[in-house]
Structure 1
Amino acid sequence: MRVDFVITELFVGGAERCLTELAIGMAQQGDQVRVFSFANLPEGEQRLLADRLLSAGIDITTGDADHANQFLRAFRRLQSWFKESPPDICQTFLFHANVLGTLAAKRSGVNTRIGGIRVAESKPIRIHVERFAARQMTSAVCVSSAVQQFAQRQLKIEQSRSIVIPNSVNVSRFVDAVPMSWTDLQWPPDSVVSLFIGRLHPQKGIDLLQRQIDVLAPANSNRRLLLVGDGPLRGDLETWAEKIGADRVRILPWQKDVAPILKASRVLVLPSRYEGMPNVVLEAMASGKPVVCSRVQGSEELLSHDNGKQAFAPGDDNAMKKLVEQFLCDQSLCEEVGLKNRRRAEVDFSVASMVDAYRRHYQSVLNR
């Protein structure tokens, strides 16, 4: 198969990691794949995924669109890219690529156009625009059943035109990780750490962690709270953390490799207001750690094996507190739940199974 993958950008994130694993996996099976990124390639440590693709011999073309006023030029470049070497399939990821990539593929004569619906984001203008693009899609791959229901309800994508293929995780990368030493943060080596990893954005519900700081990291205890990530709330959170004290809470910038941090932590906490299928939950599961997360799209499906023992209603910080506290107080419970989580990740969310699912879907669509 000749498959072109089109994405908004290649900074390290869930959709970008999915594209990378999928493109490399398909190339290893003999498929011809290319990648088009509307934005320029990242610099520094954020080039991780782009460098993996290039090292695997996969061509990456960029639209040089780092600002809104550059997207029209990138759209035209994408059309030319399609026409120079027409693919069997165009697979898009993320909002801008779903819209512009799908329309460019149609105008360029690409008959099979598959969208990637990654998150249930209910902004009216985005829904209106993506709904228009969805009408031009041959099918749509949804990252979870909840996102598929959102796509059917809001984007008007019929069930017959959609399929659920979840994210994947390389379990061995997390199992084999060497734990971070808490002394690197000037914390005692026996610190019991609740961990948040993600974008520092209102979507992630970090205010729930702030409201429960006296449980997550009480003064004069061995409990700590660690936030890892960047985003628009960083300045406000740093001011708050300074008031609380570095002996109780720390904020680290985005990390190239979170496996050592996950391995050292007691529990991952993710109180998001909405998601698609959060990769960080899969990564915590692969690390053999318990998770406490809000019962939103994707998260609930990842943790369906434990009958809701790791999930709480969105916005309910008291319920979150109770779930976290049980893991902070009981190491054996953490090990029991963590083992179940890791087995679930190994069996149901391997990279190989994700690649096979995409390839089967592509063949099915082409054979219609």
Structure 2
Amino acid sequence: MSRFIFVQPHLRFGGAERQTVIVANALVSRGHEVDVVLFGSGGGLAADLDERIGLHVLGIERHVRTLQVAFRLERILADLPPALVIVKLWSAVLTCALIDRRARAVRHTFVYCEDLDPTAHHEFIPLGRLKRHVVGAVFRSRQYVVANSSPVAERMQRTYRLARRPVVTPVVVDPALRDEPLLDRAARQTGRAEVVSVGSLVPLKGLDVTLAALRTLDRPVRWTVVGDGPLAAELAGFHDPTGRLTVRLTGGVRDPHRFVREADLLVHSSRSEAWGAVVLEALAIGTPVVASDTIGPVEMRSRLGVRPDLLELYPVGRVGDLARILQTRLDSPRPTPEDCAAYVAPFSVDAAVVQWEQRSAAWAEVSR
């Protein structure tokens, strides 16, 4: 049995946060002891954590209070037995770097994770260049650094000037999705195409590209947008004078998959995407995907094979290309849900959990 502690700012509705829940639940189900430490509120996906997982909420919603977070986090870690501490997202990286060499925390083995494209993500967050500079210094000076895909590992090494290429632990598909009943879309008679997008409502996600492409279509379409963010008001105010395009906002929800199941296509137009777990999740439940050719979807296609009927890519930001693909795909025969699920089968949670188990044992031995 090993001990694992996940440290990150929050568990709001999002791909990186959902990955933490999936892996943490899988680890505890295999007999390991798992704790999760969050900076802010324990809402969102925290309710999906296995009840055997220890949940610790520091109660600090503003991540800029790094010193205050570090002080409370150090006290939490001092009370927990030695463990592999998996640090995710930049604010957690900066916080843990302040304490990982102090006496009360040095009993633990800290592993720093990157699930973003460091060549572009900084452009979409406040003080992004400064944060990237500081995060790079942390990664260069720490022994254990992990990426969520091979392209991210390569870009980390180049961007952060790392002496070693980070090891890779892949993103996984929630095994619970395989147990859900498949939707018989042939029985649905709505008279319109159903398109869905899932993610934060921020410029990074390219929702404006999707909207512009959908407006060119000569058919009734309902676009369901699942997520929260500053663009919600703008999307809520959208009105199509032709009456063909309807936009439905759901807000952030614990189970976005019910909206994905009813869609003909999931469109993922992100301007920068290190992976894009929602792409795999959509395919796992039988909904084909059209995505921008950022490094995550490109890596997926290289590993799973070229199947444009299941996963089709278009150049980032190219409205015309996306519109032409949508026009064609909405007229094409649908792949079977079983075919979609088989396509993403290589991304099982078991493989990722075994990697964490092996690394926990090896790195703990080195740290002794």
TM-score (normalised: structure 1): 0.86
Tell me what 1:75 maps to. 70
Any residues of structure 2 matched to 1:89-168 within 5 Å, and which? 89-107=84-102, 108-110=105-107, 112-120=109-117, 121-122=121-122, 123-160=128-165, 162-168=166-172
CA distance in structure 2 between the aligned counterparts of 1:279 and 1:306, rounded to whole angstroms: 17
Tell me, what secondary structure is at the counterpart of 2:335? helix
With 143-152 and 169-178 compared, the bigger mean Cα shift is at 169-178
Tell me what 1:8 maps to. 9
1:79-121 residue CA offsets vs partner (Å, 9 max, x unmatched): 1222223423211011111121233222221452101101112
Point out where structure 2 has 5 or more consecutive residues left out of the alignment.
Answer: 123-127
- The question of whether the paired residues in 1 share the 8 Å contact of 2:9 and 2:63 is answered with no
Tell me what 1:184 maps to. none
Q: CA deviation at 1:148?
A: 1.0
Any residues of structure 2 matched to 1:215-234 within 5 Å, and which? 215-216=216-217, 218=218, 221-234=219-232
- The question of whether the paired residues in 2 share the 8 Å contact of 1:18 and 1:168 is answered with yes
Q: Residues 292 and 152 of structure 1: is their aligned pair in 2 closer, same or farther, counting only changes over 3 Å?
A: same
Tell me what 2:342 maps to. 343
Q: Residues 311 and 101 of structure 1: is their aligned pair in 2 closer, same or farther, counting only changes over 3 Å?
A: same
- The question of whether the paired residues in 2 share the 8 Å contact of 1:205 and 1:315 is answered with yes
Matched to 1:127, the amino acid is R
**From 249, 252, 263, the counterpart of 1:251:** 249
CA distance in structure 2 between the aligned counterparts of 1:364 and 1:84, rounded to whole angstroms: 23
Equivalenced residue count is: 351
Tell me what 1:56 maps to. 51
Tell me, what secondary structure is at the counterpart of 1:329? coil
Structure number having the greater helix percentage: 1
Q: Residues 202 and 177 of structure 1: is their aligned pair in 2 closer, same or farther, counting only changes over 3 Å?
A: farther
Matched to 1:51, the amino acid is A
**From 57, 60, 64, the counterpart of 1:65:** 60
Tell me what 2:125 maps to. none
With 144-153 and 248-257 compared, the bigger mean Cα shift is at 248-257
Tell me, what secondary structure is at the counterpart of 1:129? helix
Tell me what 1:176 maps to. 180
- The question of whether the paired residues in 2 share the 8 Å contact of 1:24 and 1:56 is answered with no
CA distance in structure 1 between the aligned counterparts of 2:208 and 2:67, rounded to whole angstroms: 38
Q: Residues 256 and 33 of structure 1: is their aligned pair in 2 closer, same or farther, counting only changes over 3 Å?
A: closer
Tell me what 1:214 maps to. 215
Tell me what 2:36 maps to. 35
- The question of whether the paired residues in 2 share the 8 Å contact of 1:289 and 1:339 is answered with no
Any residues of structure 2 matched to 1:276-355 within 5 Å, and which? 276-304=274-302, 305-307=304-306, 309=308, 310-331=312-333, 334-335=334-335, 339-346=338-345, 348-355=346-353
CA distance in structure 1 between the aligned counterparts of 2:30 and 2:172, rounded to whole angstroms: 18
Answering whether residue 361 of structure 2 is matched by residue 357 of structure 1, we say: no
Question: RMSD of the TM alignment (CA)?
Answer: 2.7
Matched to 1:144, the amino acid is S
Q: CA deviation at 1:241?
A: 3.7
- The question of whether the paired residues in 2 share the 8 Å contact of 1:286 and 1:341 is answered with yes
1:230-286 residue CA offsets vs partner (Å, 9 max, x unmatched): 211111112224656486332322232222222221111111100121121011110
Q: CA deviation at 1:322?
A: 2.2
Identity %: 24
CA distance in structure 2 between the aligned counterparts of 1:236 and 1:137, rounded to whole angstroms: 42
CA distance in structure 1 between the aligned counterparts of 2:53 and 2:176, rounded to whole angstroms: 24
Q: Residues 244 and 102 of structure 1: is their aligned pair in 2 closer, same or farther, counting only changes over 3 Å?
A: farther
With 18-27 and 291-300 compared, the bigger mean Cα shift is at 18-27
CA distance in structure 1 between the aligned counterparts of 2:97 and 2:235, rounded to whole angstroms: 38
Q: Residues 327 and 247 of structure 1: is their aligned pair in 2 closer, same or farther, counting only changes over 3 Å?
A: closer
CA distance in structure 1 between the aligned counterparts of 2:359 and 2:239, rounded to whole angstroms: 47
- The question of whether the paired residues in 1 share the 8 Å contact of 2:268 and 2:290 is answered with yes
Q: Residues 343 and 180 of structure 1: is their aligned pair in 2 closer, same or farther, counting only changes over 3 Å?
A: closer
With 91-100 and 190-199 compared, the bigger mean Cα shift is at 190-199
- The question of whether the paired residues in 2 share the 8 Å contact of 1:277 and 1:298 is answered with yes
Matched to 2:222, the amino acid is R
Tell me, what secondary structure is at the counterpart of 1:135? helix
Tell me what 2:236 maps to. 238
- The question of whether the paired residues in 2 share the 8 Å contact of 1:175 and 1:287 is answered with no
Q: CA deviation at 1:367?
A: 3.8
CA distance in structure 2 between the aligned counterparts of 1:244 and 1:178, rounded to whole angstroms: 33
Tell me, what secondary structure is at the counterpart of 2:100? helix
- The question of whether the paired residues in 2 share the 8 Å contact of 1:118 and 1:147 is answered with yes
CA distance in structure 2 between the aligned counterparts of 1:294 and 1:87, rounded to whole angstroms: 42
